[in-house]
Amino acid sequence: MEINFKNIKVIGFDADDTLWVNETYFREAEMAFAQLLSKYETPNKIDQELFKKEIDNLGLYGYGVKAFTLSMVESALELSNYQISSKTINDILNIGKDMLNKPVELLNGVEDVLENLSKKYRLILATKGDLLDQERKLEKSGLIKYFHHIEVLSDKKEANYSKLLNHLDIKPSEFLMIGNSLKSDVLPLVHIKANAIHVPFHTTWAHEEVTEEEKNGKAYKTINSLKNLLDLLE
């Protein structure tokens, strides 16, 4: 789908799995968690119950590693019928701590793209998750110098983006969002008549998946790599 880029003044970037690796670490943590709970249930059942617990807790805990860790602890207690040992609980907490201490692995071409676009556009980071963790990753990434504004959102729905655009004092037609999630980074922008480009990552959290019906006929563009942005916006 073609987008008119002539009016774009501000470009927003998602962070996790758009600028740097994130979801891969969650998949690894889920496997480690299933191994710890293997005496109580099958890996598939453990994955299902953990996902249900995460979704149930979203309204209370929000997104991010800390919320995920709390959901692992709750799931472990329930799956073990509250027989889980204190050592295993500690092992679960260490899975979370290990995630928080992961290095920030930038995706291919990210810094080159940001450096080039920052010369012409106002760039912002619009991400969701735990504030402290996202600030840590941004600092480690070395990318903070390219962003005019940093926004860690509690969620990425139409109302959140509308509030952000009001804060930036720009029209929807002047804003372009770049991200890996159709549900969070693309469709809400389309619905408020802003612009969006989808850059798929090789793995997606089930909660971020959308149906064919939800995306059919929507005015957004998909590119294979962030580096393709330079050709589109030159």
Across 81-140, where does the E strand assignment appear?
Answer: 122-128
- pTM, entire model: 0.87
pLDDT for the residue 21: 94
Structure tokens given for 84: 């889980």
Q: What is the pLDDT of residue 141?
A: 95
Quick one: DSSP state of residue 107?
Answer: P
Residues 70 and 142 in one domain: no
Report the distance separating Cα 94 and Cα 228, nearest Å. 38
> Are 72 and 167 part of one and the same domain?
no
Q: What is the pLDDT of residue 215?
A: 62
Same domain, yes or no, for 118 and 219?
yes
Full domain range(s) for residue 168: 10-20+104-233
C-alpha to C-alpha distance for 77 and 79, rounded to whole angstroms: 6
Q: Using DSSP, state whether 5 is helix, strand or coil.
A: coil
Round the CA-based radius of gyration of the chain to a whole number and report it.
19
Q: In this predicted model, what pLDDT tens digit does every residue of 49-94 receive, in sequence order?
A: 999 999 999 989 988 999 999 999 999 999 999 999 999 999 999 9
Residues 184 and 229 in one domain: yes
109 and 223 both lie in a single domain: yes
CA separation for the pair 142, 110 (Å, rounded): 11
Within a domain: 14: yes
My answer on whether 37 and 95 are in the same domain is: yes
Nearest Cα to Cα of residue 124 among 141, 103, 155, 149: 149
Total domains in the fold of the chain: 2
Cβ partners under 8 Å of residue 148, min gap 6: 10, 122, 123, 124
Looking up tokens 């980074």 gives 185
Domain membership flag for residue 59: yes
Query: In Å, what is the CA distance from 224 to each residue of 18, 84, 126, 197, 202?
Result: 11, 44, 20, 10, 11
The reply to whether 1 falls in a domain is no
Domain boundary among 67, 100, 133: 100
* 113 and 51 fall within a common domain: no
Listed residues 43, 69, 100: the one ending a domain? 100
Whether 2 is in a domain gets the answer: no
pLDDT for residue 57: 95
User: What burial letters (b/e) apply to 69-94, b meaning 16+ CB within 10 Å?
Assistant: bbbbbbbbeebeeeebeeebeebbee
Residues 35 and 86 in one domain: yes
User: Residue 60 burial (CB < 10 Å; 0-12/13-18/19+)?
Assistant: exposed
Contact criterion met (CB below 8 Å) for 11 and 117:
yes
| One domain, residues 91 and 182 | no
Give the CATH number for residue 153: 3.40.50.1000
Residue 80's CATH number? 1.10.150.240
Q: Within this chain, do residues 190 and 108 fall inside the same structural domain, yes or no?
A: yes
Q: Which residues of the chain have pLDDT under 70?
A: 1-2, 202-217
Are residues 96 and 110 both part of a single domain? no
- Asked whether residue 83 falls in the same domain as residue 130, the answer is no
Assess contact for 208 and 17: CB atoms under 8 A.
no
